[in-house]
Chain A
Amino acid sequence: MNNNKQAITIKGTKDGLTFIIDETCSFDQILKELETKLSSSVVDKDHPMVKVNIHLGNRYLTKEMKDDFLQIVRSKNNLIINEITSNVITKHEAKEWQKDLEVSTITRMVRAGQTVHVQGDLLLVGDVNPGGSVSATGNIYILGRLNGIAHAGLEGDRQAVVVAAYMNPTQLRIADLLSRSPDFATEGVYMECAYVDEEHDKILIDRIQMLSNLRPNLRSMERRISNG
């Protein structure tokens, strides 16, 4: 049925080549056709690298399938894969994605020896006492006193921030960076945010009002859907 129809349509755009993959034919067929199509096209060795975008339509590729696919494209040495897009993701991926975008609200005190961890953003209504710690893969917002440890961007997101109504932490951690309180006793500060300053490669603290300038993507909640 589909044998007459092309499984792969190649289009040239100003961003390079776009491969549109038919979503109804079998995967073997695609690989076969890809092989023939790419070998039949005459490739000039001196030709600059060509970017390839792949549109899968409503097809889902497992990691193994993707690897097989990429291997064929990469074997043609002047093609580089720019992007693979698909209209579908698995339920599991969708749930993880949703968790990453979610703000989990927790109302409690985090006392000495207690830890709270969430995936995504954390909104804590309560205090973090000395010896207590909170962590999140995203941002941390504390409506209360931060006297303990807060670790935002736990899985390496340096864009993550820690915001607290009262900031007097023993330690602040964002992604792979750490800063600690000075060795002399300090009064905390009210309404502050902590972020990573890429220029100096360290964690800085500023007034909460500066946050929208420092992290423009936080201005609206849709932000990370676009780069999810």
Chain B
Amino acid sequence: MNLTLKIWRQENPQAKGRFEKYDVKDISSDASFLEMLDILNEQLIHEGGDPVAFDHDCREGICGACSLYINGRPHGPDTGITVCQMHMRNFRDGSTITIEPWRAKAFPVIKDLMVDRFAFDKIIQAGGYISVNAGSAPDANVIPIPKENAETAMDAAACIGCGACVAACKNASAMLFVSARVSQFAVLPQGKIEAAKRAKSMVAAMDEMGFGNCTNTYACEAECPKNISVSHIARMNREFFIAKVTDSAKK
């Protein structure tokens, strides 16, 4: 396959940035998208240029590092997978591919296609955990958990925190990410204890980091590589409401 790439190049967070055009030739349709970028980078290094910086780690679709906005869609044209798992056969020979970094105030560009997703870490720090006393691990089956709840929690916990939901959202809202984190604990007995505090702290952190609001456009759900459902957003809306109501009741 021969392709024309339009890639966002930006020296550093302060630089202005611009689109650069590159041609790549003889790419196998079985190559992954990131392998195609590797080939481009080798080409650039041979020519004495600066390789394109992009995030990647496991290349197995589980680490959440890769973050490319391709032809108007996070993680490219295929659904339910990360960009590292997407193959070049999703594109036509001779086509032009526009590659941009995630765009959000909360995700500043570090270099080229790499963005800083520290905002997600801040949200997790705010309440994406359960507090347990250290000591020997408790028996796994001491607390009975209905299978449906375990499944729901597991579906939510599938979130890899890549930020595609923010990238896809017209408002750069992090609701799907935050709600998945709230949900994965909220439906389990271990997570219920701190549920109210968690919902409030994580929503506050989300607002503070500069993410937008939810318009229920559901682009997040459509683009999530782990197919996280917007029903988790509704659950978070409920959790937050209950937290607020019970909080004022306590006062």
**Are chains A and B native binding partners rather than an unrelated pairing?**
no
Chain B residues within 8 Å of A, Cβ to Cβ:
none
Q: Which residues of A contact B (CB under 8 A)?
A: none
